[in-house]
Structure 1
Amino acid sequence: MTPADLSLTVQHAVRRAVDDGALRVDVPPRVKVERARPGGTGDYASNIALSLARPSGRSALDVAGVLKERLQGAPGILAVDITGPGFLNFTLRRDAGGDLVRAILAAGAAGAAGAAGAAGAAGPPYGHGSALSGTVVRFAEVTESRARVVTDVVVRLLRSQGADAGFGGDERIHVLGGDYLPGTLGVDAARWSLLRAAPQDRVLDGPPLLVQHERNSLFRVRYAHARVRRLLVNGAQLGLRPSYETDIHAPELLGVLGDHPVALLSAARHRAPDRVARHLEATADALLAFQHTVLPLGDEKPSAAHRSRLALAEAAGTVLAGGLSLLGISAPDQI
């Protein structure tokens, strides 16, 4: 992990803290990191918590604690320590990208085996966890079309984080009215039109979601998944199988993949499926920017780097498929 990668990772942590409502500040356009000074802790340090303390109305130590919670386990970071009045100190990992990719693929394989009823399959899908274990949520039955779709997905999200969620109580999801038109748009576009918009916003216009164009967010997400499947097929034809063997410089893609568990937990806590949709868009955009480097070009010979890039692409496809599944939307192998 380079200093630029680390800076971007810390900036992402600030953005997640703001999205979660843990901090009320403007996300800085850049986060300064520098080598830890003699006698310090770790490899790098940042004074970002001190910079955000005054505008957030909180102490630097409080801000540092909020950011530390969102940085622990991030790709490339072995440990985060708070020193002095609120400095964040980072100890970097070796082969952290490989750890992340292998974890995603292992979780994906376990989930697929479990779905097929394979003996011995264990482990939740990547991003699922137990942070909300012990939380019981019951929703009142709803009849309005958008509320019904949103509530269904919120229940899925809560369960993905360990909550006991279902129907039969008084808690309600408050959303604007909106027609659910699977007969006109198809199930996938109809659900995306309702779920991609924040609860307080109007649903997305349906017809543009049927156009296969990069301006169509649903198309980009589903197309990105289809591109991963095609890369795997083309790789196999070249004798390449995904295997993360060497570090790959792809901070944007590794960053969004590492953010996936936090995005799901945040969406569950805030009852906000649109957060999952936005995260899938970011993942798709990062994958589509990365895809051109995956397979050998021209006379280039297949190498460990290509196998590693293919594994990273497969991990992105696993995240896209899992996120779409939570939203009740299909992930096609080809478009």
Structure 2
Amino acid sequence: MTPAELSQAVQAAVSAAVEAGELTVAVPETVNVERPKNRDHGDYAVNVALQLAKAAGKPPRQVAELVAARLRELPGIAKIDIAGPGFLNITLDAATQGELARTVVTAGAQYGHGDAFAGQKINLEFVSANPTGPIHIGGVRWAAVGDSLARILRACGADVTTEYYINDAGVQISKFGTSLQAAANGRPVPEDGYVGEYINDIAAEIVKQVPGILELDDATQLESFRTEGLRLMVAEIQRSMEEFGVHFDVWFSEKSLHDSGAVEKAVERLREQGHVYDQDGAVWLRTTDFGDDKDRVLIKADGDTTYFASDAAYYLNKRDRGNDVSVYMLGADHHGYVGRLKAIVACAGDDPSHNIEVLIGQFVKMLKDGEEVRMSKRAGNIITIDDVVDWIGVDAARYSLARVPTDSTLTLDIDVLTSQTKDNPVYYVQYAHARMCSIARNAAEMGIESTAEDFKPELLSTPWENQLLGQLGKFPGVLASAGELREAHRVARYLEELAGDYHRFYENCWVLPRGDEEVTDLNRARLLLVEATRTVFANGLGLLGVSAPERM
């Protein structure tokens, strides 16, 4: 019996008590089922009686007894104790608890998936760094977290579109083009331009791909460097993202909003909503009506549109494409964007508490030999995605960047993340998976087969088997909460807990026969439990975009 099935059983027991006139309450839509820290308190703890007592007008323990009386009639329930103010402490019989292993193996890659977000169309925008240089360490964090979150939300039933917003319009792109032109002509890069070996590399590549570019007049030459440089930089970003295991469904050009007239149309749509006004020759959006600290300029007095106007047009474009929720994943220096983005949503007539979410990611630093690493060989004063991959590899980078809440600053120790010790969290988790694969290979060599059909779940009765089964049962709930709270780190931390429980099981429960021992049903049952655990590891690592190696 899974926690979800037990939750449904409790709901059914409450419903039966209501129908019998013993309780006059609304049947709860969800019932929380938790594993107690103290295993003497049973396999699962339920607090539904405390939730319903006030509405029922009865003491919680009396409500608990009414629910417990019906649950005790169910097959698989070995014991129910009412503890403290009214907790239901439920103990399953070994067969019912062990049945979970068969459930996991049968479900395979789909175990843990659910439909909590079925019918929701979510646009998930992340990284979106200016295409004026390689992706830096902050963007790498969003690449790992954003892609993992997309996978988790899809596993929860959502229709997710991943998107990279290319800021290919405005002053920074002009500075980028000027920097490339200066490098190609052997001139110093302007003081406010871009520096780094990559600028020289791109400039040289443009000269190679566009013969005669240095003979063009200055203005035409600059436009060519800007256009070609942007194309090459976007291609470089796309390459690095794909090599990092991150695929974007949409690469959206900011420039396309201007070229198509979408920005002007957005201003008019917002004017029709009654939130646009003219003052001092400029066009303003009255965002203070919706909590922003000041109104925002859409079109300046000189006729130029602002980045804010592009932001408004971009949000409206997402909604026009049918997205219900637009999730923006922004860096730590973008706190000021939260209020203004929500104000755009409100001005457009949408609900800022539902149609938009803004996640802020904190800074990342890297240590080597106890010292902070600050410089990139190629990009000058930033650490790039290629640097991170070169130092610790894709798996270690993705896992370690995703395993910490994004609202916390993060320090990655290169020495730890390249070590083969339990201090390295990704090694610790991957090693557990490889260890299970080794057991499966040894079983095959010994001619031992364990299938879901011949499985005897009642044999899995030790405390270590019970604990491991309980952890496997938590996986669907972990995925659902990770999706709901937009917290991919919950999956990583769960895998580390599961690895600990597996290692303790392995140390105390011999899986395969030793020496001349005969193969027993217990060996086969434990072998299936190992396969169920391996399945959950593979599923969890896959949702983080991390490989599940069979050998290490």
Fold-level similarity (TM above 0.5): yes
Aligned residue among 240, 243, 248 for 2:460:
248
Map of 1:13 onto structure 2: none
Could you tell me how far apart the structure 2 residues matched to 1:129 and 1:46 are?
Answer: 23
Map of 2:155 onto structure 1: 160
Aligned residue among 161, 171, 182 for 2:327:
171
Aligned residue among 261, 266, 270 for 2:481:
266
Aligned residue among 192, 213, 235 for 2:399:
192
Map of 1:37 onto structure 2: none
Shift of 1:183: 2.3
Asked if the contact 1:32/1:47 (under 8 Å) is kept, the reply is no
Map of 1:303 onto structure 2: 520
Larger Rg: 2
Evaluate the alpha carbon distance shift between residue 239 and residue 217 of structure 1 in structure 2; reply closer, same or farther with a 3 A threshold. same
Shift of 1:281: 0.7
Report the aligned-residue RMSD: 3.9
Aligned residue among 511, 529, 537 for 1:320:
537
Could you tell me how far apart the structure 2 residues matched to 1:228 and 1:96 are?
Answer: 24
Shift of 1:187: 0.4
Map of 2:437 onto structure 1: 229
Asked if the contact 2:41/2:89 (under 8 Å) is kept, the reply is no
1:257 aligns with 2:472: yes
Deviation digits for residues 162-221 of structure 1, max 9, x if unmatched? 112224654223211336411221100111120111112233323312111122221111
Asked if the contact 1:291/1:313 (under 8 Å) is kept, the reply is no
Q: Give 1 or 2: higher strand fraction.
A: 2
Map of 1:71 onto structure 2: none
Give the letter for the 1:221 counterpart.
V
1:150 aligns with 2:365: no
1:294 aligns with 2:476: no
Q: Which runs of 5+ in 2 are unaligned?
A: 8-29, 53-58, 69-75, 129-138, 164-317, 319-325, 329-358, 365-382
Could you tell me how far apart the structure 2 residues matched to 1:98 and 1:29 are?
Answer: 19
Task: Name the SS for the 2:122 alignment partner.
Answer: strand
Map of 2:100 onto structure 1: 100
Deviation digits for residues 84-121 of structure 1, max 9, x if unmatched? x855374745622442111111121xx4xxxxxxxxxx
Shift of 1:148: 2.5
Asked if the contact 2:126/2:146 (under 8 Å) is kept, the reply is no
Q: Which runs of 5+ in 1 are unaligned?
A: 11-21, 35-43, 54-58, 69-75, 112-124
Evaluate the alpha carbon distance shift between residue 304 and residue 156 of structure 1 in structure 2; reply closer, same or farther with a 3 A threshold. same
Evaluate the alpha carbon distance shift between residue 206 and residue 197 of structure 1 in structure 2; reply closer, same or farther with a 3 A threshold. farther
Asked if the contact 1:253/1:287 (under 8 Å) is kept, the reply is yes
Map of 1:133 onto structure 2: 118
Could you tell me how far apart the structure 1 residues matched to 2:103 and 2:45 are?
Answer: 28
Could you tell me how far apart the structure 2 residues matched to 1:305 and 1:146 are?
Answer: 44
Deviation digits for residues 138-183 of structure 1, max 9, x if unmatched? 2234332212321111111111001122246542232113364112
Map of 2:409 onto structure 1: 202
Could you tell me how far apart the structure 2 residues matched to 1:150 and 1:47 are?
Answer: 32
Evaluate the alpha carbon distance shift between residue 236 and residue 211 of structure 1 in structure 2; reply closer, same or farther with a 3 A threshold. same
Deviation digits for residues 5-31 of structure 1, max 9, x if unmatched? x9xx99xxxxxxxxxxx9xxxx98537
Asked if the contact 2:124/2:161 (under 8 Å) is kept, the reply is yes
Could you tell me how far apart the structure 1 residues matched to 2:485 and 2:549 are?
Answer: 29
Count of matched residue positions in the alignment of Structure 1 and Structure 2: 275
TM-score by length of 1: 0.70
Could you tell me how far apart the structure 1 residues matched to 2:37 and 2:51 are?
Answer: 13
TM-score by length of 2: 0.44
Shift of 1:129: 0.9
Could you tell me how far apart the structure 2 residues matched to 1:141 and 1:239 are?
Answer: 49
Could you tell me how far apart the structure 2 residues matched to 1:232 and 1:327 are?
Answer: 24
Evaluate the alpha carbon distance shift between residue 206 and residue 263 of structure 1 in structure 2; reply closer, same or farther with a 3 A threshold. farther
Map of 1:334 onto structure 2: 551
